[in-house]
Amino acid sequence: MKKQKLIVGQIGCGKFAEAQDFPNFKKHPQTELKWCCDLNLTRAKEMGKKFGVPNVSANFMDVLNDPQIQMIKIATSHEVHLPIIEAAAAKGIHIFCEKPMAMEQEEAFKIIRIVRRSGIKLCVDFNRRMAPSMHALRTKWLEHSQNPEHQPWRYWEAQRPPMAEEETSHMMITVQDESSSYAVHHMDPLKGGGEIIGETVHWLDLACWFFAPQRPVEIQAWGSRRLSHGFNLKFSSGDSVTLVFHCSGTFDYPKEMYQVTSNAALFRNLFFVENEYYGIPGAKKEVFPMQHDCMKDEVPEDGIHAYMKKYLIRAKGIAGNSKKYEYTKPFIVDKGHYSMLCGFVDAILNDKPSPCDEMAGYMATYLAQLAIRSLDFKQTIPVPLEMITPVFI
């Protein structure tokens, strides 16, 4: 099986699938798209024609009943993930599922049991843990944690042993978003569940991946479960993550920024295109290419300043709704979507662990639900050990 291609069915043909799933499957040398399926058959036919997919349907069982299908990508609204996963697993089909894996804890438990009983592999598309710039940031942070070096001009009041708080690391995540970019079903409590369930699971997963093998021990959240909110998540060795997510921002400025302070050093990720390191002798910034860069000819450089220059040049040529230009002039930073696909295909073909398995999917959903409980009751909520290490028969 190592040399063959995986025959794939796409279930859900919305805007995300058009921007990421279809191009990524077509690009990957070991995947072949055979089906695209959407409740809106006209949309499925449109995507089939655009990406050269031979079979289309409005019924996902048509995809699953094809004996050639070895893997599916689920890019539907959240509430139908479970029945599709259950039906696919029963046929031994591997599952690449959009986030969140589930909206509720019990639903996530059912998915874990289904996946493990069937023996198939499942991957949740928490892509940020696979972004090249995030891997570089974590590697640099780990290197410094294990062997800290400091600038010769480091400032201190007096030589003394470090206090306990000074030996922990903290990640700050700021997200300024334009909520008008969300479809209304994102806020529907039955379909999308709001932005904590639909979006913040990304950063809860990223936090758990970044600080592994530590486990989360408590969470405090504030704001709205539907839109703007924040949380502070603490880990078992004292490291912590703070997120501030606000929906009234502008895409004229990069959406996401990350910074980690640790052992008298600062590690910054600037919207996946540049990493900066401070407080470490000889550390130089790193720049990362975009996933899709329609402005490369005009501005060949990479990095945050080049990104802003490219964005402004591109925006000047747009009048009206910029969404119309997403596919004719794609301009997308590398958040790890293609890397996640590559990791999962490798896991299937070479029998390796999934890069983001069903337990990671459960963890993000469970922490999101705890965050909602925290903001509802305006209190810090513990994360019980038995709930993040459940036992299944």
pLDDT in tens, 188-225: 888 888 899 999 999 999 999 999 999 999 999 999 98
Backbone dihedral angles phi then psi of residue 211, each to the nearest 5 degrees = -100, 10
How distant is the alpha carbon of residue 26 from its chain centre? 21
Domain ranges of the chain: 6-126+351-357, 129-335+367-376
- Give how far Cα 107 sits from Cα of 11, 15, 255, 362, 370, Å: 20, 26, 31, 9, 15
Given a contact cutoff of 8 angstroms between Cβ atoms, the answer to whether 244 and 173 are in contact is: yes
Report the pLDDT value the prediction gives residue 156, as an integer from 0 to 100. 81
Say how far apart CA 355 and CA 340 lie, in whole Å. 7
Note the CATH architecture for domain 129-335+367-376. 2-Layer Sandwich (3.30)
The one-character DSSP state at 198 is I
The answer to whether the pTM exceeds 0.85 is yes
How confident is the model over 250-290, as pLDDT tens digits? 999 999 999 999 999 999 999 999 999 999 999 999 999 99
Cα separation, 172 vs 249, in Å, equals: 18
pLDDT reported for residue 325: 73
Order of strands, sheet of 286-287, starting from the edge strand that comes earlier in the sequence: 286-287, 274-278, 265-270, 256-262, 170-176, 240-246, 229-235, 216-223, 381-382
pLDDT tens sequence across 37-57: 999 999 999 999 999 999 999
Q: CATH for 6-126+351-357, among 3.40.50.300, 3.60.20.30, 3.40.50.720, 3.40.718.10? A: 3.40.50.720
Question: Residue 3's pLDDT is what?
Answer: 60
Tokens (6 digits) for 256: 């996401």
Residue pLDDT tens, the chain, 393 long: 446 899 999 999 999 999 999 999 999 999 999 999 999 999 999 999 999 999 999 999 999 999 999 999 999 999 999 999 999 999 999 999 999 999 999 999 999 999 999 999 999 999 999 999 999 999 999 999 999 999 999 888 888 888 999 999 999 999 999 888 777 877 888 888 889 999 999 999 999 999 999 999 999 999 998 999 999 999 999 999 999 999 999 999 999 999 999 999 999 999 999 999 999 999 999 999 999 999 999 999 999 999 999 999 999 878 877 777 777 789 999 999 999 999 999 999 999 999 999 999 999 999 999 999 999 999 999 999 999 998 887
Edge-first strand listing for the sheet containing 122-124: 55-57, 31-37, 6-11, 71-74, 94-97, 122-124
